[in-house]
């Protein structure tokens, strides 16, 4: 089975369970909580939970399906709150929760999902000790996500953010949840301490590569293919690794921090960055994370699931083009 076929199959299973749990809710708050969950998505994080479980103990994935839902529910809670902070009006092709309802309802809807994620892990068919460890990891991860989001917000007020600070932010904001998804799958499937660490390291480094690639996609990919507003990070002067490396090399991006940038101006900025070697350096950082993630997988027994995890890492740095 090809990776895209596996991911589609996993997404179908997750979608069916999400609809069973959230498709017939009553009351505005519950409807607001379910809004983005039922709007679709790639379901990559729950797929990682299932793959990690089967990579440790073949056939265990369906026993811990509630935990896979928990990771998607957690991800969705962060999206609801991020949309409020960013003032975004559309997510997954539908109005954001605070736009559809109001800001107070959206905050509470995110809080509801945050709480339900722990309940879902508790419903997994796994030893009690493993469920407690999984919930502790998810709790720590949610704290990291909040810290990462706060760093991202504070970066907007600074023009001296270092590459190390950026990578720390990315580790917390994006890497941590992929790390948790993989490790929780391993924990609940009965993995050894070494296997769980390997899965956590794989998820952390793959998630960081994902975010670095996202920054490249934002600038360089065709808007129709990527589904993003091209060069939005550049227009807003966001402190991405691209902007940080450009500053270190003396490349002045100030003239491009305008919302009315034309396509020709964006192309000119890309040529400037490529000429200074910025894009290649940033890609090299992503590639380094990919190599580290794949090396971690060597601590797991050979299996189809381990190979899928490796291919997911590759997908993270090739998507969008």
Half-sphere exposure of 127 toward its Cβ, with a 13 Å CA cutoff?
A: 8
pLDDT over 70, % of the chain: 97
* CATH architecture, domain defined by 3-307: Orthogonal Bundle (1.10)
Tell me the domain boundaries of the chain. 3-307
pLDDT at 157: 87
Half-sphere exposure of 249 toward its Cβ, with a 13 Å CA cutoff?
A: 18
Mean pLDDT of 5-10: 94
Among 160-164, 214-218, 247-251, 256-260, the minimum mean pLDDT is found in 256-260
pLDDT 10s digits, 147-189? 999 999 999 888 899 999 999 999 999 999 999 999 999 999 9
Q: In whole angstroms, how far apart are CA 309 and each of 33, 192, 203, 294?
A: 30, 18, 9, 9
pLDDT at 161: 94
Structure tokens at 239: 């402190």
Closest to 52 in 3D by CA, of 183, 180, 179, 142: 183
Closest to 286 in 3D by CA, of 206, 230, 220, 198: 206
Cα–Cα dist 174/160, whole Å = 22
Nearest-10 crossing angle of helices 193-220, 304-316: 30
The reported pTM is 0.93
């Amino acid at each position: 089975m090809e990776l895209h076929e596996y991911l589609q199959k996993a997404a179908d299973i997750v979608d069916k369970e999400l609809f069973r749990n959230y498709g017939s809710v009553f009351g505005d708050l519950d409807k607001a909580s379910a809004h983005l969950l039922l709007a679709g998505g790639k379901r990559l994080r729950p797929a990682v939970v299932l793959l990690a479980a089967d990579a440790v103990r073949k056939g265990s994935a369906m026993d811990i399906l509630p935990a896979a839902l928990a990771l998607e529910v957690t991800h969705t809670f962060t999206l609801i709150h991020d949309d409020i902070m960013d003032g975004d009006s559309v997510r997954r092709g539908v109005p954001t929760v605070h736009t559809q309802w109001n800001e107070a309802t959206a905050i509470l809807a995110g809080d509801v999902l945050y709480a339900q994620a722990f309940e879902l892990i508790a419903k997994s068919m796994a030893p009690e000790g493993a469920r407690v460890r999984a919930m502790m990891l998810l709790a720590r991860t949610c704290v990291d996500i909040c810290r990462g989001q706060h760093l991202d917000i504070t970066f907007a007020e600074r023009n001296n953010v270092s590459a190390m600070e950026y990578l720390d932010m990315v580790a917390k904001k994006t890497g941590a949840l992929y790390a948790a998804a993989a490790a929780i799958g391993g924990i609940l499937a009965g993995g050894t301490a070494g296997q769980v660490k390997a899965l956590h390291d794989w998820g952390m480094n793959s998630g960081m590569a994902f975010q670095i690639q996202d920054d490249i996609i934002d600038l360089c990919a065709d808007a129709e293919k990527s589904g993003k507003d091209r060069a939005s990070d550049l227009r807003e002067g966001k402190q991405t690794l691209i902007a940080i490396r450009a500053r270190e090399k003396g490349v002045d991006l100030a003239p491009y921090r305008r919302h009315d940038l034309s396509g020709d101006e964006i192309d000119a900025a890309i040529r400037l960055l490529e000429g200074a070697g910025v894009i290649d350096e940033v890609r090299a950082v992503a590639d380094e994370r990919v190599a580290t993630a794949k090396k971690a997988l060597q601590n797991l027994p050979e299996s189809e699931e381990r190979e899928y995890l490796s291919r997911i890492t590759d997908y993270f740095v090739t998507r969008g083009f």
